[in-house]
A and B are shown apart, each in its own frame.
Chain A
Amino acid sequence: MSEHNNEGCFFRQQLTDQQFPNNQELQGFEQGQCYIKGYLTNEQDVCKQLKIENGDQQALLNAALKYWGFEVNKHLYGDYVLVWLNREQLLVTSSARASFTLYYQENNGLALATDLNRLSDQGEATLNQAQLLQTLALGLLAGKNTCFEHISQLQCGETLIWQLHQSIELSHQYRLTHAEQLKLAQRNKLPTAEPIAPRVIDDVDLTGLFNQLPSLAHRLGEPITDVALAHFDSLVQASKSDTLLLDCSWLTARNVIGEQLFHNNHRWCKDILRRPLLQQRKQLNKRQKQLFTAFEEEQNEQQESLSFSQWLDLHYVIPAWCKILQRICQHYGKTLINPYIGSEQIMTGSLTEGVTEVVSEEITEMKQADNQSLAYFPLQQISLANVYDAMQRLFHVGEPGTLKLFNLNPAVTGRLVRRQTDDLRRVEQLSVFLLTFDYLARFHPGHFN
């Protein structure tokens, strides 16, 4: 495995007039050089193949780009995002199933950064309400959009090339198919790393966890979707090693979407959404149709026997979850080694602890019991540091922006908490999302109001 790079990078080129053709800002890398965030696992093989002296990563990356061009991510194995810049072009690419994230903003020029805050703090970021509704309805799904308008993220296995003239143009866009990505990811030899502690929720300090949520939201620059992320954050902070191996118990904390629930997923929290968010339903439905069509097309091509929810889990939920776990590690200067999940593991059900797909009444009951056990905060414990109580307090102390988007009427939130006792984890997720959203609105009013 190559050395890890934990330094961030930032690039910005604004649209300029002819008097100032080179209005570029660069941090973390230079023109004519490659920037890599993450690690390679076949560095020695590629060195041999390209006849490069082993150990000179910059020479290797330059030679690999020259040799394979925009298909470089098919030949460099590992988990990374790569940026290459010269006077005329900017190329960005990511490995198959990359858990590292690169953000870019195509608004009045081009900007890219490994840290979301670097772009959202530029002052032009506004909230992407359609994405907000999607996250509330479906949870985290891998995709191009972020919670801000105009800020996108490079998708796994995607390559983009911009021509940097006075008008900046995206000249090339290519993405590895899901099948290609799985095939390439399986070729990765997992580097040695300290396994991170498994997810055990019995002995967690809930007050500490509750108080960790705002600082995590601030570091990530977006609302938190699950308490498990704060739990993971505390364990990463306590770990001693710089390279951590992801324990599969952390993957079971993800929000798995059942097939039947996919089309009416937001109904359970519909009462809590106000008009600006409800108006985004068309876009949510469109996105759901897109995903379903993509699933059907892939099934026809590959004759795979994954169900829709398994397919969604494999290609959208797990990658998104791994990305956010990696971002948490990156904030401590640590690297997370991601054990890639293949379709076999999904099909055998070794990772489906939280699936809500309806199979039979008995199984549904069992799974609902699982869901309850997965919730961190007990519903019947009234406490200052309890997410349900804190969500209801937002009615009294919430920000205008939050109250404009969410109907935090005590009667509505009280009914939600009372009636959703069989799906407590989803109420917990909603509460955490609302609380961290409101927190960000308080201290970044320009973005979240």
Chain B
Amino acid sequence: MYDFAYHKPSTVADAVKLLADPDAKAISGGHTLLPALKHRLNKPTALVDLSGIAELRGIRREGNAVVIGALAKHAEVAASAEVAAAIPALAFMADHIGDVQVRNRGTIGGSVSNNDPAADYPAAVLGLGATIRTSKREIAADDFFLGMFTTALEPDEILTAISFPIPEKAGYAKMRNPASRYVMAGAFVSKGPQGVRVAITGAGPCVFRQADMEAALAANWSADAVAGIKQAPDDLNSDIHGSAEYRAHLVTVMAKRAVANAG
């Protein structure tokens, strides 16, 4: 890696100030950024380590929502009694991200801010109709994920927490990429205050909602309702691990399994 300055602020306000430098980068678990730095694919002037900011921690119930602080590690979400009681599908999803090392270092804020097209969390955020809280404002999930590795976050804006409305039912299913173990195609489905939602990750350049499946599930919440709905392969990812057609097929299979998992 190239040389960089290292800062460890203790408040969001201080972190935001440090991030005013357009070439500074925020880091939490570092599971995406550090490998990029080691490969010299990224040359930040400074790393702003968010791990010392207490206000970014915590998992709590707020009315009809579960609010998860940006620094919550995947393993913490997976083990949280609050999450398990309110949104078991979210705990299940967190428990199946990457491997043990990733789950013990990676954070929800880092994953959602990075918006890797093959990450798990964007599916849960969009599939549950969550609200992203930042250092400046609140952003609806539908307005947050803009494209591959691109979100509505501004350069000096930090994701502080995510508020997940508690659904009646929710489920997640995915097929892993055999090499990276990232998501090749995953579906997060829910029914609740945000309506019926089907969010697909891994298959395309960015997480997206599957409108035909949502309509079908709104009419009839059952695995059979989505089993016959085909995802168009246009614009889906294609690589040595699977064609766009294969991923399109997996979208249907995973949506069906996600509904079955939701009960």
Tell me if chain B binds chain A. no
Give residues in B with beta carbon < 8 Å to A: none
